[in-house]
Structure 1
Amino acid sequence: MFNDIGPLELVTLVVLAVLIFGPEKLPKVIQDVTRTIRKIRDFSESAKQDIRQELGPEFKDFEFEDLNPKTYLRKQLENDELGLKEIRNGFDLKKEMAEVSDAVHGRESEASAAASVAPASPSLVKGGGPVDMTKKRQNLDPSERPPFDADAT
């Protein structure tokens, strides 16, 4: 509950509590606060038990922590009924990124040397042909506009 409070902050809170409530009233305030927290916890637990009883035996394994999406996903990924670990191990992100980088910079990689890659959406210029975006920019006449690819922007 208080994982992010450091020792200096805790000392500061204690000093503030002593200054605000005084040393005479502080034990009574602490007792009242702990009693209130205990009542809230008891109320929460009884509400959870009532909900579990109302849901019936089909949901006896239901945990309220599963309502948190992060916890639910973590629990489902640990079960791995879908074979996600196998898919994750079969996908090499570094290799894929290297292939994309090579294609963008116009270098031949091992995978792209075997299969030539065609542009996904060729743009048309004055000549009517597709623009090869992997080529370096050519020197254009100042009056001529550079090729524009609407899908690339």
Structure 2
Amino acid sequence: MFDVGLGEMAVLVVLALVIFGDKLPQVAGQAGRMLRQFREMANSAKADLQEGLGPEFKDFDIADLNPKTFVRKHLFEDGDDFLNGKSGLFDDDPTYAKTAREPELAYGERPPYDPEAT
């Protein structure tokens, strides 16, 4: 998380002990309460958004707005297959596998160039 290694984490803990001393438990408690309040505010905002959208969006999830999640959910039937390299679009069509593949290039061979495509 945050790309912090074990050594850096130890330095942060020692600095926290030196700076806050005996008040470290109080500071940690306040930080925990702030985090809990932030989560409650976020959940409340999410509930207000879902309530405002109405019943037709009852299955709406904020995570669906992520472009990767949106594409995976709406274009591919099974997202796990997409992650494993199987799109599900042409898996059942045996002619696609034969006709759509380009011949592999030999070492040092240049791919075909289309001046109208660039």
Please state which band the TM-score falls in when normalised by the shorter chain: 0.5 to 0.7
1:65 alignment counterpart: 63
> Over residues 44-95 of structure 1, what are the superposed CA-to-partner deviations in whole Å (9 max), with x where a residue is unaligned?
0000001101111100110100111112222234426xxx523367357xx5
SS in 1 for 2:45: helix
1:27 alignment counterpart: 25
Q: Which runs of 5+ in 1 are unaligned?
A: 107-118, 122-150
Cα deviation for residue 105 of structure 1 reads 4.6
Q: In 1, Cα distance between the equivalents of 2:53 and 2:10?
A: 45
1:85 aligned to 2:88?
Answer: yes
1:96 aligned to 2:102?
Answer: yes
Q: In 2, Cα distance between the equivalents of 1:58 and 1:25?
A: 50
Flag the structure with larger Rg. 1
What letter is aligned with 1:87? F
Q: In 1, Cα distance between the equivalents of 2:62 and 2:23?
A: 38
Cα deviation for residue 120 of structure 1 reads 8.0
SS in 1 for 2:89: helix
Cα deviation for residue 7 of structure 1 reads 3.1
SS in 1 for 2:102: helix
Q: Which runs of 5+ in 2 are unaligned?
A: 79-86
Question: Which of 38, 47, 55 is 1:49 aligned to?
Answer: 47
Number of residue pairs matched by the alignment: 102
- What TM-score does the superposition give when structure 1 sets the normalisation length? 0.53
Question: Which of 62, 66, 72 is 1:74 aligned to?
Answer: 72
Q: Is the alpha carbon distance of 1:46 and 1:105 closer, same or farther for their aligned partners in structure 2, counting shifts above 3 Å?
A: closer
1:10 alignment counterpart: 9
- What TM-score does the superposition give when structure 2 sets the normalisation length? 0.66
Aligned-pair Cα RMSD in Å: 3.4
Identical aligned pairs, as a percentage?
42
1:39 aligned to 2:45?
Answer: no
What letter is aligned with 2:18? L
